[in-house]
Structure 1
Amino acid sequence: MKPPFFEILAYEPTDLGMLCLRRRELLCEPGTIVTEVTLNHEFLMSSYLTASEKALSEIALQMHPGTGLQVLVGGLGLGYTASTALNSERVSQLEVVEFLPQVIDWLEQGLIPLSDQLTTDSRLSVIQNDIYQQLASPPQQMHDLILIDVDHSPDDNLDDTSGSFYTADGLQLAKRHLKEEGLLGVWSYAESSRFVDALHEVFREVHIEPVTVFNNLINEQQTDWLFFARD
């Protein structure tokens, strides 16, 4: 019997630990090839289930009626949040802020599934920076949509320095980067009542959207959580 396909595309140290980009065939679905990312040998993201990453952009665009939208995405990952936003003709400019230069290199080298689509879209710019530091600093540009998909959850951060963003004080600083009627969206794998309370303290309107899918890899349903807020 032919062994399942498995390939390491990149394995390199970063400021957050050892980062691995791999491509493999699913044992539960022979013939299905997925791209996955691990950090310090722990699963981080996959091209297999991307509904919630896409929904972060889809729902934000549904909630904002404007055109010529300026969008800021925190976290490039495998590109699904950015690519979904770019599918809308109402988006005129999209800036992705990615902390790890290695992830930006994957995009430029064509190693992630959406590389061709993203790198050929003139509306997209990708910069290496800390999105949390950027949002805590005075704004250089205002945005209609700010979409954050970096940490596992508001209570489970990849780096200790990001935690202040999820407080009322941190959200007040981030709010300065939003245009009038602008919208903030945050991805999480878990609920967080503490973060919801902070959002209510800072924003007039808070909307929470669970996204549930069946994960064939673990043979059970899983729910990710999307938090949206605006004045």
Structure 2
Amino acid sequence: MSKLFEEIDSQDSPLGEISLRRRRIPVFGDRDIYEVKLGDEFLMSSMFVEAEEALSTLGLAAVQGDQLKVVVGGLGLGYTAVAALEDERVSELLVVDALDTVIGWHQDERVPLGKILNADARNRYVLGSFFDLATDPDTGFDPTVGGRKFDAILLDIDHSPTEFLNAANAGFYTTENLALMAQQLTPGGVFAMWSQNLPEARFEALLKTVFSSVESHVVAFYNPFQNCESTNSVYVCVKGEA
């Protein structure tokens, strides 16, 4: 039987100390729960993955065609990336993360989904700032080929478009920088983004200054800690064909 609590790893990062923990809560049954903390703040838990998976399923559902080339911004515990690879149309996946510690957890298979990602030849990890790469279309997301275009960009880094993991990320959420990112999408390509909050009308209006179509989806899931339903959101935006 696994320990009730174990800190698997803890490392300094540019954002502060980041740690990976595994715990068991007997009332929730025979399962390991993986958690990531940044300092004293909980970033993610394998208890709540429905919205992270929905980011991929809803985003890719809006993309037409086959042989899709996809970028995931923010590796986390890997749920968005694995859900993307479950779409058989995806031929290539680049997962961008700014923290080599998080990429290392997956490469070393210290988290459960690392084994799945490592075994899939379509997947590639990219160490770098999503926001820097998103706003530099001449370089772009692929460190081996500059200026590539992708069919979908799926983003799960900040808590919401107004609550940031790093204050420096706030500058991304402008018409100018979203338009720079959109240059890296194919015509009809999709940008989708996760948020911990309900859809925000001001952000929807901002997205509409760049994208031809913007839809917001509320993803509901059961929260056993509060014994009630919780919600997150996924914004799905389609670039015009012209």
Q: Do Structure 1 and Structure 2 share a fold, with TM-score over 0.5?
A: yes
Any idea what the Cα deviations from partners look like across 1:125-167, whole Å, max 9, x if unmatched?
0011000010100242100000000011110101122112222
2:28 is matched with 29
The residue type equivalent to 2:188 in the other structure is E
The residue type equivalent to 1:201 in the other structure is T
The answer as to whether partners of 1:97 and 1:129 remain within 8 angstroms in 2 is yes
| CA distance in structure 2 between the partners assigned to 1:196 and 1:104 by the alignment | 31
Q: TM-score, normalised by structure 2?
A: 0.91
Correspondence 1:26-175 to 2 at 5 A: 26-138=25-137, 139=140, 140-175=147-182
What SS does the corresponding residue of 1:48 show, helix, strand or coil? coil
| CA distance in structure 1 between the partners assigned to 2:62 and 2:72 by the alignment | 16
Q: TM-score, normalised by structure 1?
A: 0.95
The answer as to whether partners of 1:28 and 1:216 remain within 8 angstroms in 2 is no
The answer as to whether partners of 1:205 and 1:229 remain within 8 angstroms in 2 is yes
Alignment of 1:226 onto 2:225? no
After TM superposition, the structure 1 stretch with the greater mean CA deviation from structure 2, 134-143 or 118-127, is 134-143
The answer as to whether partners of 2:60 and 2:190 remain within 8 angstroms in 1 is no
The answer as to whether partners of 2:178 and 2:210 remain within 8 angstroms in 1 is yes
The residue type equivalent to 2:109 in the other structure is G
The answer as to whether partners of 2:207 and 2:214 remain within 8 angstroms in 1 is yes
1:57 deviates by 0.6
The residue type equivalent to 2:173 in the other structure is Y
Correspondence 1:196-211 to 2 at 5 A: 196-211=204-219
RMSD: 1.5
1:39 deviates by 0.8
2:202 is matched with 194
| CA distance in structure 1 between the partners assigned to 2:156 and 2:107 by the alignment | 20
Any idea what the Cα deviations from partners look like across 1:85-140, whole Å, max 9, x if unmatched?
11111000000110111001101111111011100110110011000010100242
Detail structure 1 runs of 4+ shifted over 3 Å in the superposition: none
1:27 deviates by 4.6
| CA distance in structure 2 between the partners assigned to 1:3 and 1:189 by the alignment | 30
Indicate how the Cα distance of structure 1 residues 3 and 172 shifts in structure 2: closer, same or farther if over 3 A, else same. Answer: closer
Equivalent residue in structure 1 for 2:222, among 202, 214, 219: 214
Relative to its length, the structure with more strand (as a share) is 1
1:82 deviates by 0.6
Indicate how the Cα distance of structure 1 residues 7 and 196 shifts in structure 2: closer, same or farther if over 3 A, else same. Answer: same
The answer as to whether partners of 2:152 and 2:185 remain within 8 angstroms in 1 is yes
The residue type equivalent to 2:211 in the other structure is F
1:4 deviates by 6.5
| CA distance in structure 1 between the partners assigned to 2:132 and 2:2 by the alignment | 45
1:32 deviates by 2.5
What SS does the corresponding residue of 2:69 show, helix, strand or coil? strand
